[in-house]
Structure 1
Amino acid sequence: MILSTKIELVKISSRTEEILAMLNSLSAAGNGMQMTVLELAPSDDGQRVIGKIQLLAEELKISFNVVAPTGAHISSFASQFNMASSHYCEIKFELIKPTSLKFTFCPPSQEVATRVENFFELTSIPNLNA
């Protein structure tokens, strides 16, 4: 079973694809990675929230500016990532143009897949995993 979630980036820099390729090549992918929500603020139009998430992988700290309908969307996204990572799911990163970042999680067993899938369902916010 494969699970996935995605979030919209504020913008894609020229280095974004290189950073994602590096993350995908880490031998520890899914083993000890952690995501933290560093900040949340309303967007200029007041309709969405801009946030900064940070991935911690081994000794790396990589930050992405993201945008979502609410802060709860960003927090739920980070919680789902951390749940999958803490259960040793293999994590792959993919840039979906124009500005989405997709995370794919491959659990190590059916038991873990069921546990992570249940957590995703409990923490799902409409349109989060669309």
Structure 2
Amino acid sequence: MVAVSFGITVLLLERFGGPPDDCDGDRLIAMNPPFDSNGGKAFVAHIQVPGADTNEMPRRSTLVVCEDHKRLGPAHTLHEDIRGTGRGRYSHWGADVIFSSSDDSDPNTNRRRYSYLAK
């Protein structure tokens, strides 16, 4: 029973990442369009924030990406999965955030606000 409960908790944390209030604070930094297409459902925001994931440290980034003050995720997603599956997945890689909107719409035209929190 404990193992099942733990497994469900891990899945929920991977999907939603943690407390929803991360995206309600005054420390959010806007990601403003235009966003470059990265193919499929993926778009790129150029942010220049240190601590991005790397091949050697694929879960290093603590960046949280928000859409209209709601946390997107999961983070640390393979870029191919962001392009193909979308649904709010994102990756902080190099000087960029590769991300998809929560409903796979184009973030350049969907009238939502995107931001990030560098923890």
Normalising by structure 2, we get a TM-score of 0.27
Normalising by structure 1, we get a TM-score of 0.26
Q: Greater share of strand residues, 1 or 2?
A: 1
